[in-house]
Amino acid sequence: MDTLYFSGTSGILLPYKNKSYYPNDLKDKSRLAVYSLLFNSLEVNSSFYKMPRRETVGRWAQETSNNFRFTFKLWKGITHQKDLIFEPNDVAKFLDIINAVDKKKGCLLIQLPPSTTFSSLINLDKLLRCIVKDKRSLGWHVCVEFRHQSWYSQETMTLLTSYGINLVLHDKDSGGINIEYAGNDIVYVRFHGPEGDYKGSYEDAVLHEYSGYIKEWLAEEKEVYVYFNNTIGSAIANLRTLEEYIKSL
């Protein structure tokens, strides 16, 4: 049976200080190729800061294992403009670029800044419509991460559901993850660090708790994507601990 659980870090993170520390059989491989031997998914953060070249994305697909899945963070030129004003051509260009991963499509992450509030609902509707009406969005699980509490309303959830789009579960506000908003078919979880500042390490008890939720989602045959964004802290160690708990339950 194909795996339903995909996990990794936000940006390539390796347990090796540098290439000289790679095991001998990995020394001729790229950082991404080594990463794909350790984890089965990557949340690409660099695409938020600058759109990659399509040829580059195609090469990434070739460097990774067959069951690997890429998640791309939508370019900030689309998501972080005042009042969520965007150019449809930029959306089309981004989708065309990331489709170079071919069969290794994971999620498309739309992260909105804290300054974008529920008052921009109409423009969010326009953005989501622009994405889902583009045939190049097929195969991608489109997910939205809100950073302002005003978005957590029935009207927002109804809008997302109408497009078949999921809410990202995250702890950026350091208040824990609200699993109440887990999607029907796809669950996307981002761990930003115990204090929401990309630092630190989660206590084993916290990881054990979430492993139970993940196990339940998998038992319901939901596809689950989990990324650790506490990359200044213990992202890799936390990811491995979580996976050990999932396997042992």
pTM of the complete model beyond 0.85: yes
End-to-end CA distance of the chain: 19
226-239 average pLDDT score:
97
CB 126 within 8 A of CB 159: no
Position with higher pLDDT, 185 vs 249: 185
Position with higher pLDDT, 182 vs 98: 98
Q: Per-residue pLDDT for 161 more than 60?
A: yes
Per-residue confidence band for 249, with pLDDT thresholds at 50, 70 and 90: low
**Token pair 């196990």 in the structure block, residue:** 215
Q: Per-residue pLDDT for 1 more than 60?
A: no
178-226 residue pLDDT tens: 888 888 899 999 999 999 999 999 999 999 999 999 999 999 999 999 9
95-112 average pLDDT score:
98
Cα atoms in the 13 Å half-sphere on the side-chain side of 132: 17
26-51 residue pLDDT tens: 888 889 999 999 999 999 999 999 99
What mean pLDDT, rounded, does the chain reach?
94
Q: Per-residue pLDDT for 173 more than 60?
A: yes
Query: Taking the C-alpha atoms of 100, 105, 110 and 111 in order, what is their torsion angle to the nearest 10 degrees?
Result: -100
Q: Which amino acid is at 65?
A: S
